[in-house]
Each structure stands twice: as structure tokens, then as C-alpha cells.
Structure 1
Amino acid sequence: MKLSDGVEQAIHCVVMLSRLSDDGVLSAAALAEFHGVSTSYLLKHLQALSNAGVLQTLPGPKGGYRLAKAPEDISLLDIVLALEGPAPAFRCHEIRQRGPNPLPAHMFVEPCSINAAMLRAERAYRAELKRVTIADILADLTEVDDGSIAARGCAFLALHERKSGTKA
């Protein structure tokens, strides 16, 4: 299974936004700069996250993005589904019923065992993504950080965080 680059970018942006003050926001340009990615590409993903209720968008000159929910209420599955959509990665097209000399329809009453196996794997994958929250990612990051990662993020936020005047 291959997820788009936008999924990685979106998860990192949500983690960054989780470190804002209560009335803070970050612009898409600032998020793109911090992660070294295209602003125009990132904007599509931020909009998808906003549409899914993961992010809140504040318009205007002091506007930007912030979390719409607490980090413990945002799962990796929420982010993946916002960007990739709800369709399963594997889609069975019943090719076993094609080709020369197809078998009669009664031979295909049971679902394809390949499709069944792939859907079981998809359920396991989604269950794991649902289990892991942004709060878990932050906790894991804290365990491995010698202070360098936090210092880099704090220094960037000190320069780029905007105060919206409204609390999240």
C-alpha cells in the first residue's frame, strides 16, 4: 500500500499545530516553510483536514490553521481518511470471472478469498491507525528528544505563530 506524500506532510503539520498556544494559528506558508514543502501542495491537504474537522481555519490577516480537536481526539486514521478518502486500498474487480471460458456464476457465490484476505489486512491497518493519536505521537517524540527537536519547534513558533484573538 502506498500513501501519498501529503499524508506524511499532514501528520507532521498536525503535530506542529498541536504545539500552538490556545489562541495561536500558523499560516500555510509557515507550515510549508518549516517542513520544506510546497505551499500550494500543502494547502490542498490543509483544506482536506479542515473539511474533515481535524483543523480549524481562521481567515484574515491574522488567520491560519489550528487544531479543531484535542490531540488525544485526533487519530492517524482521521488524517489518512481526510486525505486519501474512505475507500479501501484494495478493490476487487472480480477478474476471476473474466477471460476465455468463464465459469458459471454459481461458482462465484462466495467472495474471492484474495479480496477477503485483503479486506482483513485493511481492517487491521485501519484499527492500528485509529489506535494511535497525535497525543501518542507527541509522547513518543518527547521520549526520544534530547531537547533539540522541541527547541527547533519552539524557536520557529516564536517567529511565526500568530495570535488570532480567539481561543481554540
Structure 2
Amino acid sequence: MKLGEGVEAAIHCAAMLAGVDGNSTISGAAMAEAFGLSPSYLLKHLNQLTTARILESVPGPAGGYRLARPAERITLLDIVLAVEGREPAFRCGEIRQRGPVKLDASAYVQPCGINVAMLKAERAYRAALAEAKLSDIVAAYQSDADPRSIAVNCAFVERHQRPQKVQPSPAQPSKA
């Protein structure tokens, strides 16, 4: 199975956003720069993550992206499905029922064994991704990565995060 480069980019961006302060954001252009990607290419995947409610998009000159929920509540499966779609990677076309040696449809009452095996593998793959939380990936990176890598990545986030002004809540009418 081959996942598109967009999955890797999406996971890295979500991991980066797990490191922003409070409800600050990072622009899509900054994330594209960090990973050497085309901004328009990355924007497509950031939009997919936003549609899936993994990220929030904040408009305006100081806008950007931030996680829509805590990293502990985002799995790698969430991100993969947002980018690649919910369809299984293997789609049985029932080719056993085509060609010059095909039989009447009544000969194919049993499910295709290849399809059964591939769907079983898909379930196992998705279950493993569902167990992998973004917060665990970030924590493992912070404990195992070269300190230089951590320092340069933290400095990048610090330099590019955009603090968001907290909107004052409407005044409560006094009870008189």
C-alpha cells in the first residue's frame, strides 16, 4: 500500500501545530516553508484537515491554522482518512467474473478470498493507526530525537506562531 506524500505532510503539520501556544496559529505558508513544500500543494491538505475538523482555520492577516481539538484526541487514522478518504485501499473489481473463463454468476456465491484477505489487512492497518495518537507521536519525538532537531523545530514554531487575541465575552446583564 502506498500513501500519498500529502499524508506525511498532514501528519507533520498537525505535529507542528501541537506545539503552538494557547490558541495561536501558524500560517500555511510557514508550514510549507518548514517542510519544503509548495504552499498551494500544502493548502489542499490543510483544507482537508480543516474539513475533517482536525484543524481550525483562522482568517485574517494574523490568521493561520491550529489544532481543532487536543492532540490526545487526534489519531493517525483521523489524519489518513482526512487526506486519503474513507474508501479502503483495496477495491475488489471481481475480475474473477470477467474474461473468457468466467462462469455464470451462481458460481461466485462465496466472497472473493483475495478481497476477504485484503479487507482483513485493511482493518488491522486502520486499527493500528487508530491506536496511534498525535500526542504520542509528539511525545516520542521529544524524548528520542536529536536535541538539535528539537531546538530548531521549537525555534521555528516560536518564530512563526501568531498569537490570537481573545475575544471579550459579552457582558452579562446585572440582575437588579
TM beyond 0.5:
yes
CA distance in 2, matches of 1:25, 1:32: 14
What residue number does 2:114 align with? 114
Give how far 1:158 is off.
2.3
Amino acid at match of 1:136: D
User: How big is the shift at 1:103?
Assistant: 1.1
Q: Deviations over 1:90-121 (max 9, x none)?
A: 00011111111421212111110000000000
1:24 aligns to what SS in structure 2? coil
Please report how far the alpha carbon of residue 35 of structure 1 lies from its aligned counterpart in structure 2 after TM superposition. 0.9
Find the residue that maps to 1:65 and give its secondary structure.
strand
Q: What's the CA shift for 1:147?
A: 2.1
Name the residue aligned to 1:105.
105
Tell me how large the CA RMSD over aligned residues is.
1.2
Measure, in 2, the Cα distance between the counterparts of 1:43 and 1:54.
Answer: 14
Corresponding residue for residue 165 of structure 2: 165
Equivalent in the alignment of 1:66: 66
Can you list the C-alpha shifts for 1:10-59, whole angstroms capped at 9, x where unaligned? 00000000000002100000001111111110000000000000000000
Displacement of 1:162:
0.6
Identity of aligned residues (%): 53
Tell me the distance in 2 between the aligned counterparts of 1:18 and 1:166: 19
Q: Secondary structure at the match of 1:56?
A: strand
Moved over 3 A (4+): none
Matches within 5 A, 1:19-168: 19-166=19-166
- Normalised by the length of structure 2, the TM-score is 0.92
1:70-91 alpha-carbon deviations (Å, 9 max, x no partner)? 0110000000000000000000
CA-CA distance at 1:142 after TM superposition: 1.9
Aligned residues, how many?
A: 167
When normalised by structure 1's length, the TM-score is: 0.96
Residue identity in the other structure for 2:93:
H
Query: Residue 66 of structure 1: CA displacement?
Result: 0.1
1:139 CA drift (Å): 1.7
After the TM superposition, which of the residue ranges 133-142 and 77-86 deviates more from structure 2?
A: 133-142
Supply the AA of the counterpart residue of 1:16: M
Equivalent-residue separation in structure 1 for 2:154 and 2:102 (angstroms): 64
**Which amino acid is 2:75 matched to?**
S
